[in-house]
Amino acid sequence: MISMFGLTGGLALLIILTIRGMNLFIAAPLCALIVAVSSNIPLISGEESFVTLYMSGFSGFIAAWFFMFLLGAIFGKFMEDTGAADSVARWIIDKLGFKQAVLAVVLACAILTYGGVSLFVVAFSVYPMALSLFKDANLPRRFIPATLAFGSVTFTMTSAGSPEIQNWIPIKYLGTSPFAAWEVSLVVAVFMATFGYWWLKRMIGRAVKNGEQFDVRAEDPKVAVRDYPHPITGILPLIIVLALSFYLHDSMAQLALIVALSGGVLSLMIINFQHFHNLSAAVNAGTTGALVAIGNTAAVVGFGSIAKHTDAFQQTVEIMTQIPGNELIGAAIAVSVIAGLTGSASGGQAIVLPLVGPHYVDQGVQPEQLHRIVSISSGALDSLPHNGYVVTTIRAICKETHKAAYPAMAALTVVVPLIGLCIAIALFSLF
């Protein structure tokens, strides 16, 4: 009982401190310490001590993602410093008009995500263009994180055919394909895309009517009009990243992103070398941004590493995987809850699937249906305030606060996927 109070209390405190803007290098270990003490985890001594478990999660995430964060941040800074992002943004505004600025950002994120580019990298890559588009259209910049997230972690991340890991983990346990239950997936994806975009536009429109505008900050990139390169010089590197990631994904898995981003960075340097204002400053800024982003995310991953080793977490997993009634509803609840506790969609799947997958299949549940439900449900409650992608996008990339940016992001990345999940369960139940 004490362990359960510690786990839920520690998670609640982490969410509260994150929303209030406390430094995650302090907040995450502090909350993890509360969870560890309440579960009688040794603080220092032993292979499963607080220090060992927390740092294994922290360092493991950095080891797995460092080069992707580094190259992604440098790519974004190069897009800013050369003026390529501004050039692409102005071209889009000229062709589509100011009213389509939000749509342009959503589509850019969706194309890159469905093309296999990591969610974190998409945020780094598209943010400079999003900033320029929102500036030119005079839209409140606090909606940029929600716009980036909507195009990345909703209708593309968990849809049939998506190369993102959230659509591939079930294959290992269920023997399905990435296109499992594609008919229902298509319906849900279309709903999430149309309803989510309508809601996003409504929120932004309401803010504009209330007098909100784009607020220029001192750290925003400043590029003179005469320095703008041709728009194609900003589009081509993005295409190179997308193409390399798409074609190398199957053979190189996550390493394909390193090659893809390296190609994007090199192509930007070659094509726009004469447009750099300060190459060394851009590299330094990108490196610093990458360290802050990956550090914040790793701090939260460390909390999840402690949480997974508590008795309360194991009890929660056991309870969630034995929910009576409709098996698809049980699987959806189990994955959603565990993903919320760990702050990770892939983590929720990897923990729950080995337990519920064979059990539900033996009871007659179609593997394709279970695959799609698990995939969609993993992309809802995982986007709570302490989620690594949420923290990185809001704080490290967009330089916003949770208080300002998270409500819109929660609407699009938690509420919309939950409604989509309900639609999927209903369709599977009817047909």
Tell me which of 219 and 135 has the higher pLDDT: 135
- Per the CB < 8 A criterion, the answer to whether 84 and 237 are in contact is yes
pLDDT in tens, 268-278: 899 988 888 88
Residue 351 included in any domain: yes
Q: Within a domain: residue 29?
A: no
Question: Does 211 score more than 80 pLDDT?
Answer: yes
Across 175-202, average pLDDT = 93
In a domain, 40, yes or no: no
| pLDDT value of position 224 | 56
Question: What is residue 140's DSSP assignment?
Answer: -
Q: How does residue 253 score in pLDDT terms, banded at 50, 70 and 90?
A: low
Letter for the amino acid at 299? A
Report the alpha-carbon distance of residue 134 to residue 8 in Å, rounded. Answer: 38
In a domain, 28, yes or no: no
Q: With H, G, I as helix, E, B as strand and everything else as coil, classify residue 217.
A: coil
Average pLDDT over residues 250-276: 85
- Under 8 Å between Cβ of 195 and 416: yes
Number of domains in the chain: 1
Orientation of helix 232-252 relative to helix 255-271, angle to 10°:
160
Give the domain range for residue 363.
56-213+225-430
Query: pLDDT per residue over 103-161, tens digit each?
Result: 989 988 888 888 767 788 788 888 988 998 899 889 999 999 999 999 989 998 888 88
* Domain-embedded: residue 218: no
Q: Which two structure tokens, joined as six digits, stand for 173?
A: 């346990």
Burial class (CB in 10 A: 0-12, 13-18, 19+), 251: exposed
Side chain identity at residue 309, one-letter code: H
Decide if 82 contacts 276 (C-beta within 8 A).
yes
The pLDDT tens digits of the residues spanning 324-340 come to: 778 888 888 888 888 88
Mean of per-residue pLDDT scores for the chain = 87
Q: What pTM was estimated for this model as a whole?
A: 0.82
Higher pLDDT, 392 or 203: 203
Report yes or no on 10 lying in a domain: no
- The reply to whether 386 falls in a domain is yes
44 in any annotated domain: no
| Residue in the structure block whose two tokens are 């190259």 | 71
Residue 380's CB is within 10 A of a number of other CB atoms, namely 27
